[in-house]
Structure 1
Amino acid sequence: MTKPVQADILLDMMADARARTFELVEGLEGPQLTEPMLATINPLLWEIGHVAWFHEYWILRHLDGREPMIPNADALYDSSAIPHDDRWQLSLPALEDTIAYMTQVHNALGARLESLGSDAAPVADSYFYQLTTYHEDMHDEAFTYTRQTLGQPRPDFADTGGGLDPDDEPRVGDLPGDVAVPGGVFWLGAFEGEPFVFDNEKWAHRVELRPFRIARAPVTNAEFAEFVADGGYREPRWWSEAGWQWLQTQGRERPVYWADDGGGDWLIKDFDGWRPLPPNAPVSHVSAHEAEAYCSWAGRRLPTEAEWEAAAAGEPDGAGSALAERKRRFPWGEGRPTMDRANVDGRYLGPLDVADCPGGDSAFGCRQMIGNLWEWTASPFEPYPGFVPDPYKDYSQPWFGDNRVIRGGAWATRGRMLRNTWRNFFTPGRCDVLAGFRTCPREA
């Protein structure tokens, strides 16, 4: 069971998410709201309406039994019923009408919560307000990297001072080397008692892990550039069969947002502009196929998700020879993410150097396992033993098998969502998402 959250906290979370959504729409108009049609994005005008519909559907309609606020809401915004390509063919309301609908839903949800005062919300209310807020948070992260995909201007986040440039922070360098994680019994997944968990995290179950080593930090741009310079994108021997087939469809020999500056150095696309590639920031916007090819070239491998979670959440037993029974909620312990622990919430609008955020180290010395960039694992996205879908059945169940697990969160992820057990997932060919990777040595 999860524990209910106070109504005033839920109200603040919901308002904060909606403010971020409006910031991500600000300044966009016309074709920027509906074009182009790509497999990895939705039309933004549709997507913001869908966010409001999701709130209305699960709370005002599912919990309260109210009628839809607009008569054709399901035909417009139900992502489970409307195929992806059909979303460009819909007769969507204009932007001002969509925002009016979003505001109407938001105000109704707020009124429900305000009637509860500061008391803990009923369990169902607490669950569905968190579900819908986190759903909006996830869409907001997608809106952020979609602006990068489409070459749109940087968003302007008021609560982070307009978004700090990571290059304004002192560059602190790389963090080479591996750490040792002892083997033993590890409890993979979430325990009961969290304020909220997704269905694919349920529940913690025993897995046996062999001792392993894992990198202290993710692979940097400088390290990945060595693979590129060595012809890694031209050598099929480094790629899996599926990865090489994928690469042929891409027609490139470098990460998707890299470009040669003409003088032997690399540039990286930054929303609607270009800047010098920061050598000690983690390589970003790489697919699982690219990560695996680098590992093959470097004589290393991706961690499994159980290894990743053990390195993030585990602690050594008293003798240091095995994993302890207890787990940490975050790599550093129980306290929420802070600036010295994790780069989250769009604070810097980009990744920091891999040696930054030293306060976020795990018990074993791994840094940035929360925030900065998501990290690909070697594990397919599959259900845990005894999986039962939550009320929103399409969150996890349809995606088992074809997706790859990524862990940890990125600089655009909202810190309130994150914990060591949270499992995200994408198809292994996705390189638009805010993902990098860390590696493990191959076993002898």
Structure 2
Amino acid sequence: MQSTISSQIGLLENYRNVRAQTQFLCDPLEIEDFVVQPVMDVSPLKWHLGHTTWFFETFILKPNVSGYQEFHPKYPLLFNSYYISAGERWSRENRGQLTRPTVKEVFEYRSYVNDEMEKFLTGAVPEEIASVAVLGLNHEQQHQELFLYDIKRILGDNPLHPPYRTDKRNFQDIEVKRNWLNVDEGIYDVGYQGNDFHFDNEEGRHKVFLHNYKIASQLVTNGEYLEFIKDGGYTNHMLWLSEAWDWVNENKIKAPRYWSQEDGGAWWNYTLHGFEPIELHDPLCHISYYEADAFAKWKGFRLPTEQEWEVACNTFSPEVSKKVNFVEENNFRPIQTDDHSFFGNVWEWTASPYAPYPYYNPPEGALGEYNGKFMVNQMVLRGGSFGTARNHLRSTYRNFFHPHLRWMFSGIRLAKHI
């Protein structure tokens, strides 16, 4: 794993920028918003702040700064997530039980570690340690996106439907015609190749054979999915995998997460701007793999494999365009763009289970637990979302979630055989 930072000044500046972005995401919130944990998948927002700070304290400062005094001896227990090699952990489902440390104390913890990291990064930092710092920054960017998932769940399930942001919709509502992009049969290379930062699950690069296929030039929209609902998509068992059908019925699923119908009439949804009418042209969001697979079958198509997605992205969108909807645009919602939208807007479900590539070799120690231990019972998503940082994405980036989850910013791109 190599650092993308060419100088210590660059590393320090990058550290400041990432930590400042976290603060920016916190600015619209009230103190009560930081302490709620409605379900196990949602962590209290103050936990995200503490955990990303714990990462730098645990993997940078404590092992590399002589005489470093940790902020609080019990914080490693509270803010370790799943790194068994790094010590004991407070159980995930009980993070919301703790009123202490207070939100104020967690921000003091961040400030303390920021000061220590500033001093450390001002000096000469060996490349091996710099690469861990860059991993920590990418790790914090992941938690910035999780932060948005979680605050939307916290506010979206509130009967008051309070907005996270009150900014007005500042972009043109456009309708883009979908067409099919052709990819020829052949042998292709997939996986990361280069010296810039990447996660270990993107290694190693290998060859795959792909048959002729077509992939949609645009994401599935709210309007298209509404037709699926109206046609009885949630009541037609022939469209659903067996496990998915059980999930639909046990949880009484009738629409995407945050959608609701007003007295059998107009459809509304909760966005980070509040409770709003559904924009039919916007890309669909908050869909589980189960729903994505059922919708694709209803349309007579399928989901692409992650290899098909990566090859198509490299073929038709090798560079990230200026039109991409990332978190820096401050839209905080998916919007229709007139590019192919392989990057940004919503994470795209693929038909591929999350598994190691050939030659996969995770690093030793606690950081080796970052990805590999989760390579079971999950599906791969590609492309990023409106909550993802622009400099965080690559065509080889592999996200992964369990197939029933949908509180994240997830959507659909269709594919078909030729």
TM-score, structure 1 normalization? 0.85
Aligned residue for 2:60?
Answer: 59
Is the counterpart of residue 126 in structure 1 residue 130 in structure 2? yes
Aligned residue for 2:332?
Answer: 349
| 1:44-443 correspondence runs (5 A) | 44-64=45-65, 66-80=68-82, 81-90=89-98, 92-116=100-124, 122-151=126-155, 153-155=162-164, 165=168, 167-194=169-196, 196-262=197-263, 264-271=265-272, 273-314=274-315, 331-333=317-319, 337=320, 339-345=322-328, 347-353=330-336, 356-358=337-339, 367-390=340-363, 391=365, 392-441=367-416, 443=417
Note closer, same or farther for the CA distance 1:125–1:308 as it changes in structure 2 (3 Å cut): same
Deviations 1:257-310 (A, max 9, x none): 112244733211113622121111111001000000101111111000000000
Note closer, same or farther for the CA distance 1:221–1:4 as it changes in structure 2 (3 Å cut): closer
| Displacement after TM superposition at 1:148 (Å) | 1.4
Cα distance in structure 2, aligned partners of 1:207 and 1:12: 39
- Cα RMSD (Å) of the superposition? 2.1
| Displacement after TM superposition at 1:45 (Å) | 2.1
| Displacement after TM superposition at 1:3 (Å) | 5.0
Cα distance in structure 2, aligned partners of 1:304 and 1:129: 32
The question of whether the paired residues in 2 share the 8 Å contact of 1:256 and 1:285 is answered with yes
Note closer, same or farther for the CA distance 1:27–1:370 as it changes in structure 2 (3 Å cut): closer
Cα distance in structure 1, aligned partners of 2:278 and 2:122: 48
Identity of aligned residues (%): 30
> Which blocks of at least 5 consecutive residues in structure 1 are unaligned?
157-161, 316-330, 359-366
| Displacement after TM superposition at 1:4 (Å) | 5.0
Cα distance in structure 1, aligned partners of 2:28 and 2:379: 34
Note closer, same or farther for the CA distance 1:62–1:186 as it changes in structure 2 (3 Å cut): farther
Deviations 1:141-176 (A, max 9, x none): 1111212112265445xxxxx8x64x4311121331
The question of whether the paired residues in 2 share the 8 Å contact of 1:151 and 1:272 is answered with no
Amino acid at match of 1:374: W
Higher alpha-carbon deviation: 131-140 or 343-352: 343-352
Name the SS for the 2:155 alignment partner: coil
Runs of 4+ in 1 over 6 A off after TM superposition: none
Aligned residue for 1:325?
Answer: none
The question of whether the paired residues in 2 share the 8 Å contact of 1:174 and 1:220 is answered with no
Cα distance in structure 2, aligned partners of 1:125 and 1:22: 25
Cα distance in structure 1, aligned partners of 2:222 and 2:95: 36
Deviations 1:332-370 (A, max 9, x none): 43xxx45324444352111111xx153xxxxxxxx0111
Deviations 1:78-107 (A, max 9, x none): 112332123234463111111111011011
Name the SS for the 2:139 alignment partner: helix
| Structure with the higher fraction of residues in helix conformation | 2
Name the SS for the 2:328 alignment partner: coil
The question of whether the paired residues in 2 share the 8 Å contact of 1:76 and 1:92 is answered with no
Amino acid at match of 2:92: H
Name the SS for the 2:291 alignment partner: helix
The question of whether the paired residues in 2 share the 8 Å contact of 1:258 and 1:269 is answered with yes
| Displacement after TM superposition at 1:183 (Å) | 1.9
> Which blocks of at least 5 consecutive residues in structure 2 are unaligned?
83-88, 157-161
The question of whether the paired residues in 2 share the 8 Å contact of 1:144 and 1:155 is answered with no
The question of whether the paired residues in 2 share the 8 Å contact of 1:405 and 1:426 is answered with yes
